[in-house]
Chains A and B, each alone.
Chain A
Amino acid sequence: MSEPTDFEEFLKRVVTIVFWILLIVPIIVLPLLFFGSEILQALQLLVNANSIFILINKAQNPFLAFELMDSLGQGPCIATATYQPSAGCNPTFFRIVIFPGFTFVALLTLWLGWFERKLAAKVHMRYGPLYAGRISGVLQPIADILKLLGKELIIPAKADKPFFIAVPLLTMGISAALLTLIPLSERVYVVPPASASLGLLVLFAVLGFYPIIILMGAWASSNKFSFIGGLRALHQLVSYEIPWFLAVLGVVVLTSSLDPFQIVRAQSKIWFIVPQFIAAFVFLTATLAELERIPFDLPEADTEIVFGWLTEYGGMFWGILFGLSPFIKLYVFSGLFTILFLGGWLGPAFLPPEIWFILKTFVVITVIMFSRVFNPRIRIDLLIRVGWVYLILLAVINLFIAVGLKAFGVL
C-alpha cells in the first residue's frame, strides 16, 4: 500500500460529504419541509405550560401513526381491542402496497435470502455471511441489493430489446398479483372475504403466466443456453402445474369452496394435512418444481447450461428475476400450503392470528429450504416421469379419498 495521494484524499472527502448529505437530508431536512408547521405548533404548545400534558398524552398513544395515516385516508384500518379506525379511512392502498402486500413481503424476502444462506452454511459446516452488520452478517442482503443497484444493466446487442426489458417487469407485476391472494387472517387481507370466492382459481390462472414470461425471456436473450433453459423451464412448469392443482382440488372437494377464508374456517376441527396427507406431499413436491428449487433446478442448472434462462440477465434484472420474484413465489406457495393444510391462522389465542399464520408459513419455508441443502439435481427424464406418472396418479387417488370422505359425511 502506497501513501494516498492528494487527489485520493480529495475524493475521499467529497465522498464523505456526499454520504453525510445523503444521510441527513431524508432524516432531518425532508421531515422539516413536510411537517414544519406541525413541529412549530408543537413548539408553541411546549411554551404553553398547560398544554404540555396534552402533548405527552398524545405521544403515549401507541396508535398515533395509525391515526395519522387514517386521517390521510391511507391507513391500515385494522381494528384491535383498544384501537378503532376512524370512519372515513380507506385501507386499499395501504393493504396492496404496504402491509399484507408488497413492501412487507419484499422486506421479508430480503431477510429470507440471508436466512437461507445461513441455513445452508450451517448444514455444510461453513460460516455463511459473517461480516456485514457484525451480528452473523444480518445486513448482507442490503449490501447485496446496493451492489446490484449500482451495476450497469447490460442488454446484449443481439437481444430482442422490448421483450428483454419486459420480462423482469412482468415478473414483478405477477409476483405482486399473487401476493394479493394470500390473506394473513380474517382482518388482515388484500382481497376482502366478500370477493374472494374464486381465490384459488385466480391463483392458478395467474400462475399460468409464468411459463410464457420465461419463454419470452429465454427467446429474447438470443443465447442457446438461455433457450435450452427456457424450454426446460416450460416442460417443468407445465408438467407440475397439473398435479399441483389436482392436489388443491382434494381440499376444494372437502370444503366445496375455492375461497381461502372458507377453507381455513373449515379446518377448525382438524387440519387438512391429516385426511389429505397425500395431497400435502404432492403439493409440496410440485411446489419445489414450480419454484425451480434444487432437486428440480434444471432450468438454471449452473454446471450444465451456465445459468439457464437467466444467463444474459445481470444487475438488478438478475436481482428481480433470481432474488425477489422466486422468494415472493416461495412465500406465496408456503402461505398457500399453510392455508390449505395447516389451518391457516387458526391457533391458541395467546398469539394474534397473523403471528400464527406467519409462524406456520415460516416452518413450511424452512422445510422447503432444507430440501436444497442435501439433494442432488434430478435427471430430466425422471423429472417428467415423476410429474406425469406418479404425482398425477397420487393426486387422483387423493381426489377419490376426498370424494369418499365427503360422500360418507366423515368430514
Chain B
Amino acid sequence: MVDIVFLALAAVSIGASVIALEAREIVYGAVALGVSFLGLAGFFIILDAPFVALFQITVYVGAVVVLILFTVMLIRREKGVKTPAAWERGVGIVAAAVLAIGMGSVAFASGLQTWVAPQGVQVSFREIGVQLLTQYWPILLILGLVLASAVMGALTLAKVEREEK
C-alpha cells in the first residue's frame, strides 16, 4: 500500500517538476510547481511527519507559489523566456545523471539497505516546540534576526523608491 502511494507521489512530483520547467505557458509552470510541492508534502505524510507536511503546504504552496504566480502574471508573455540550445540541454541531462548516480551510490554504500526504521515513533508538535526553545534556542534567535533584517531591508528599499517619486 505505502509502496503504491510512494510511487504515485513520486510520479506526481517528478511529472509536475518537469511540467514546471518545460511548460510553454509560464503560469502553467507556476501551478505545476505548486503541485510538485504538494507531492513533497505527501512524502512527509507517509514518513509520519504530518506537522512538517502541513508547514510544507502552508509555506510553499500558500506563500511561495502565490508570490511566484503574482510575479509571473505581472510579466508580459513570451518576454525573457529563452528556449535552451541543444548542447545546453545535453549538458544539463549529463550533469543531472552524474549527480543522481553519485548520490545514489553514496546512499547505497551507507548501509541504508540494512537499516530498520523505528516503529511507532510519532513526534508531536509540542515536543518540537520544547526542543526549539530549549536545546536549539540560539538557532531560533538567529533565524528571527535574519528574518527581521530581511523585513527591514525590504522596507528600506520600498521607502527609497517612494522618495524618488
Q: Footprint of B on A, CB under 8 Å?
A: 160, 163, 197-198, 201-202, 204-205, 207-209, 211-212, 215-216, 219, 227, 231, 234, 238, 241, 256, 258
Contacts and interface: CB of A to CB of B under 8 A. Distances in A.
Interface residues of B, number: 20
Contacts of B149: none
A211 B58 contact: no
25 contacts: A163-B27, A198-B50, A198-B51, A198-B54, A204-B58, A205-B54, A205-B58, A207-B62, A208-B57, A208-B63, A209-B61, A211-B62, A211-B66, A212-B31, A212-B34, A212-B61, A212-B69, A215-B66, A215-B69, A216-B27, A216-B31, A219-B73, A238-B63, A256-B126, A258-B125
B19 interface: no
A208 B125 contact: no
A234 B126 CA distance: 32
Interface string B47-58: 000110010011
B54 A202 contact: yes
A-B interface, 7 closest residue pairs, ranked by CB to CB distance from nearest: A208-B62, A205-B57, A205-B58, A201-B54, A205-B54, A211-B66, A215-B69
B124 interface: yes
Interface string B3-44: 000000000000000000000010100010010000000000
Contact of B70 (A163, A205, A215, A256): A215
A208 B61 contact: yes
Contacts of B73: 215, 219, 227, 231
B54 A234 contact: no
Contacts of A208: 57-58, 61-63, 66
Given A208-B66, A216-B69, 12 more contacts: A160-B25, A163-B31, A198-B54, A205-B57, A205-B62, A208-B62, A215-B73, A216-B27, A216-B31, A231-B73, A234-B66, A256-B126
B125 to A, nearest CB: 7
Contacts of B27: 163, 216, 219
Interface in B39-89: 50-51, 54, 57-58, 61-63, 65-66, 69-70, 73
A207 B54 CA distance: 12
A227 B72 CA distance: 13
Given A201-B54, A215-B70, A215-B73, A209 B62 contact: yes
Nearest to A207: B62
B54 A212 contact: no
B67 to A, nearest CB: 9
A215 B62 CA distance: 12
A192 to B, nearest CB: 15
Interface string B119-144: 00000111000000000000000000
A151 B27 CA distance: 30
Contacts of A231: 70, 73
Nearest to A256: B126
A352 B18 CA distance: 53
